[in-house]
């Protein structure tokens, strides 16, 4: 039964790792870039047709919305690992339970978080020192985005299920359809109806509803282990516990990144609206580079998860090596390339020379060394795949968050320049990558002891 749809599924426990990992990662990279084109379209349309204030409003809330979304995205990582491990172990009934639990949790959790975000939008933006000329627009944008959270979560969890089974192409097709709709609605709402930031937010939510509907329909139509039956929706407490055990630390880790970014955003806000616009445009370009890291980290987690379920420790190590090479290639090319083309790219968002100059300063210190974050993320993704999620969270908390907060408090405070602020990125990434690599070596050795000599010899 499992083999129907197998032409769409990438084999993770057998076959060439170079070929299979890249076939898995490229659609993920393309999906991530498409999802960002949603946001870039928002930022470019609003910057060009509604001016600097509206651009600063949309740009300054990115770190806040990702703070909430990252918490839940971690749970979708937990879904991916749990489903992948069950598939690797050929455990049909638990795979089905995990699918129905994950889809139910995404909708209920998305609705709850959306409501909390809607209520807390203004107090949080006030705390972030959002300038008075921008705050009303920012609150309006954030509230509409939060109301659309259930469909965003539904898409992310359902796509995580498809990735666990080796199907990364369908989510890409669905995002392409949604992306086209998003851009058309953006232009219609902002230019024709003059809706400014509200139009941009509404276009994002409506297009996410399209991709969520398509991916759920795809799960319903499947005839294999991840087939979704609406009447079987519900939460299995034991499975939810497994998903939460891996996913919550991962989500908290993502949110902590966002907390340190919120702190950096409020330091950027102290330089005024021009610096905010330069930072918003550069951060938007940087998020494309981040997709290189993200796609490889998700590949590592899925491949390691299935090979852990299939009890193939040597293959887990090979997955790690192959993915570190892909990370250096993907992220190195995207990071350096975005800086080389930086002035042209920044001019798409805003043509003010000062906005472009400040954006280039940020890109040199953040985009070019981005591959260091990738090295750390591959180790972190592999640890999650073998079932360790708390340790990567603690390492990230200390290395990324504590170090960055310390940097802003002491180093930036002593020398408050744009440059000093952004040195916090490469410094914190390097420290964390070293510690995460050591943690992987130690914990992988411990994991190998779970396998019998027969299993080790059979590989």
Residue 21's pLDDT is 93
Mean pLDDT of the chain: 86
pLDDT, one tens digit per residue, over 93-131 is 899 999 999 999 999 989 998 898 899 888 888 887 777
Position with higher pLDDT, 73 vs 103: 103
Contacts of 205-209 with C-beta under 8 Å, sequence gap 24+, read 205/144, 205/145, 205/147, 205/148, 205/151, 206/181, 206/182, 207/38, 207/178, 207/179, 207/181, 207/182, 208/38, 208/148, 208/151, 208/152, 208/155, 208/178, 209/148, 209/151
pLDDT in tens, 6-18: 446 788 888 899 9
Inform me whether the pLDDT recorded for 200 exceeds 80.
yes
CB atoms within 10 A of CB 155: 27
Is the pLDDT confidence value at 25 over 60? Answer: yes
First to last CA, the chain: 26
Residue-wise pLDDT tens digits, 158-187:
999 998 888 888 888 998 898 889 889 988
Decide if pLDDT at 53 tops 80: no
At residue 346, the pLDDT reads 92
Q: What is the pLDDT of residues 415-425, one digit of tens each?
A: 988 899 999 99
Q: What's residue 310's pLDDT?
A: 85
Rounded to 10 deg, the angle between the 62-88 and 149-164 helix axes is 30
Q: Give the pLDDT confidence of 291-310 residue by residue, as tens digits.
A: 889 899 989 998 998 898 88
User: What is the tens place of the pLDDT at every residue in 306-341?
Assistant: 898 888 888 999 999 999 999 999 899 999 999 999
């Amino acid at each position: 039964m499992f083999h129907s749809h197998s032409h769409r599924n990438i084999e993770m426990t057998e076959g060439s790792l170079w070929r299979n990992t890249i076939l898995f990662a490229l659609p993920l990279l393309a999906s991530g870039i498409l999802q960002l084109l949603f946001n870039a379209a928002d930022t470019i349309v609003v910057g060009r047709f509604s001016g600097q204030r509206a651009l600063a409003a949309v740009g300054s809330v990115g770190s806040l919305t990702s703070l909430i979304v990252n918490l839940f995205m971690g749970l979708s990582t937990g879904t991916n690992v749990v489903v992948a491990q069950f598939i690797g172990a050929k455990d049909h009934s638990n795979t089905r339970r995990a699918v129905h639990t994950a889809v139910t949790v995404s909708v209920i959790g998305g609705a709850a978080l959306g409501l909390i975000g809607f209520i807390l939008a203004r107090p949080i933006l006030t705390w972030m020192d959002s300038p008075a000329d921008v705050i009303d627009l920012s609150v309006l944008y954030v509230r509409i985005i939060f109301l659309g959270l259930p469909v965003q979560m539904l898409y992310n969890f359902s796509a995580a299920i498809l990735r666990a089974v080796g199907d990364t192409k369908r989510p890409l097709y669905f995002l392409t359809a949604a992306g086209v709709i998003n851009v058309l609605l953006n232009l219609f709402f902002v230019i024709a109806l003059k809706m400014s930031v509200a139009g941009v937010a509404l276009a994002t939510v409506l297009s996410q509803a399209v991709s969520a509907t398509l991916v759920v329909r795809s799960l319903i139509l499947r005839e294999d282990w991840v087939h979704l039956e609406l009447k079987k929706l519900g939460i299995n407490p034991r499975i939810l516990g497994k998903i939460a055990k891996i996913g919550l630390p991962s989500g908290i880790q993502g949110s902590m990144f966002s907390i340190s970014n919120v702190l950096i955003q409020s330091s950027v806000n102290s330089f005024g609206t021009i610096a905010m616009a330069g930072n918003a445009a550069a951060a938007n370009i940087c998020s494309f580079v981040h997709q290189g890291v993200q796609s490889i980290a998700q590949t590592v987690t899925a491949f390691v998860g299935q090979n852990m379920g299939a009890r193939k420790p040597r293959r887990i190590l090979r997955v790690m090596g192959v993915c570190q090479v892909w990370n250096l290639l993907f992220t190195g090319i995207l990071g350096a390339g975005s800086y080389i083309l930086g002035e042209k790219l920044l001019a798409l968002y805003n043509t003010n020379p000062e906005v472009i100059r400040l954006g280039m300063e940020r890109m040199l210190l953040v985009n070019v060394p981005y591959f260091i974050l990738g090295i750390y993320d591959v180790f972190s993704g592999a640890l999650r795949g073998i079932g360790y999620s708390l340790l990567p969270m603690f390492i990230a908390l200390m290395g990324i968050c504590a170090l960055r907060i310390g940097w802003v408090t002491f180093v930036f405070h002593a020398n408050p320049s744009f440059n000093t602020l952004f040195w916090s990125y490469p410094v914190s990434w390097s420290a964390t990558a070293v510690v995460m690599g050591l943690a992987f070596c130690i914990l992988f050795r411990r994991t190998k002891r779970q396998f019998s000599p027969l299993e080790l010899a059979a590989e």
